[in-house]
């Protein structure tokens, strides 16, 4: 029974990863001008065609460097039958790691160590991201109410924050109780700034963060081994 349960959990985890990543790749990683391509092309090739049209080479160059510097991409050109056929035309630095392990997962042979390693990394990435997203959203709701929480956290204003020392403190308080933001969580800088601008004290932030984050994922991305983000 325990074996069946563990297999079911593993299958559910893989299914959840696939759904989450397909959704992310389809709606967040691809810009409006990117179209599904029946031939999976190297980013350098895409970049070359864009240059011919007078476009910007910076994105293609970054992807070419990412691929050329990773031995796991040795057969990238010949894996279109196993991978999602899309053109990684413009992927943010924050999402590059996610795409890397997704391609490693979908192109590696079933049962291989590469596929298992990529699967583990994907689970760690998604676990960390979901933890950060959920934690900050809950903190916003507890501080400002269920209806206004998201509105306050996402409000745009200039300057970003009135008290930069407060912003640094809020980030560190969050990471002390909820784990590292990592590069992914830096996108919530404005949310922490808005918490400061709303006059929330360090004590209140610490209390709410501790309440929300009773547990921290045991992933290296959530670990503070590299220190605070601010």
Task: At 68, list the tokens.
Answer: 């050329």
| CB distance 143 to 164 below 8 Å | no
Query: At 122, is the pLDDT very low, low, confident or very high (cuts 50, 70, 90)?
Result: very high
Q: Does the structure show a pLDDT above 50 at 136?
A: yes
Q: How far apart are CA 118 and CA 171, in angstroms?
A: 30
Q: Does the structure show a pLDDT above 50 at 118?
A: yes
pLDDT, greater one: 212 or 61: 212
| % of the chain at pLDDT higher than 70 | 60
Q: Does the structure show a pLDDT above 70 at 7?
A: no
Q: How far apart are CA 200 and CA 42, in angstroms?
A: 48
Query: At 127, is the pLDDT very low, low, confident or very high (cuts 50, 70, 90)?
Result: very high
Q: How far apart are CA 52 and CA 3, in angstroms?
A: 56
| Global pTM value | 0.64
Query: At 28, is the pLDDT very low, low, confident or very high (cuts 50, 70, 90)?
Result: very low
Q: How far apart are CA 209 and CA 203, in angstroms?
A: 10
Task: At 81, list the tokens.
Answer: 């039958």
Checking phi first, is residue 133 left (phi over 0); if not, alpha (psi -120 to 50) or beta? alpha
Fold of 124-212: Topoisomerase I; Chain A, domain 4 (1.10.132)
Query: At 83, is the pLDDT very low, low, confident or very high (cuts 50, 70, 90)?
Result: low
Q: How far apart are CA 173 and CA 186, in angstroms?
A: 14
Query: At 1, is the pLDDT very low, low, confident or very high (cuts 50, 70, 90)?
Result: low
Query: What would the mean pLDDT of 147-176 be, rounded to a whole number?
Result: 95
Query: What would the mean pLDDT of 175-192 be, rounded to a whole number?
Result: 95
Q: Does the structure show a pLDDT above 50 at 62?
A: no
Helical H segments across 145-229, by residue range: 149-153, 164-178, 182-185, 189-197, 202-212
What stretch(es) of the chain map to CATH 1.10.132.130? Answer: 124-212
Q: What's the chain's Rg over C-alpha atoms?
A: 20
Q: How far apart are CA 186 and CA 192, in angstroms?
A: 10
Q: Does the structure show a pLDDT above 90 at 199?
A: yes
Minimum mean pLDDT range among 13-22, 86-95, 140-149, 210-219: 13-22
Task: At 110, list the tokens.
Answer: 């079933």
């Amino acid at each position: 029974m325990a074996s069946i349960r563990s297999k079911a959990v593993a299958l559910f985890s893989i299914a959840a990863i696939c759904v989450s990543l397909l959704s992310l790749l389809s709606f967040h990683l691809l810009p409006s001008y990117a179209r599904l391509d029946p031939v999976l092309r190297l980013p350098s090739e895409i970049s070359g065609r864009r240059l011919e049209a007078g476009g910007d080479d910076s994105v293609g160059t970054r992807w070419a460097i990412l691929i050329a510097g990773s031995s796991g991409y040795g057969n990238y050109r010949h894996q279109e039958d196993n991978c999602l056929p899309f053109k990684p035309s413009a992927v943010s630095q924050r999402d590059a790691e996610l795409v890397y392990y997704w391609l490693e997962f979908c192109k590696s042979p079933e049962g291989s160590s590469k596929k298992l390693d990529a699967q583990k990394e994907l689970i760690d990435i998604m676990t960390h991201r979901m933890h950060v997203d959920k934690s900050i959203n809950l903190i916003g709701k507890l501080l400002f109410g269920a209806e206004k929480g998201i509105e306050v956290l996402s409000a745009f204003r200039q300057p970003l924050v009135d008290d930069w020392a407060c912003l640094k403190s809020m980030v560190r308080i969050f990471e002390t109780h909820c784990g590292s933001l990592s590069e992914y969580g830096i996108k919530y800088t404005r949310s922490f700034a808005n918490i400061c601008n709303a006059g929330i004290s360090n004590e209140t932030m610490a209390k709410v963060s501790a309440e929300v984050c009773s547990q921290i994922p045991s992933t290296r991305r959530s670990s503070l081994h590299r220190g605070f983000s601010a």
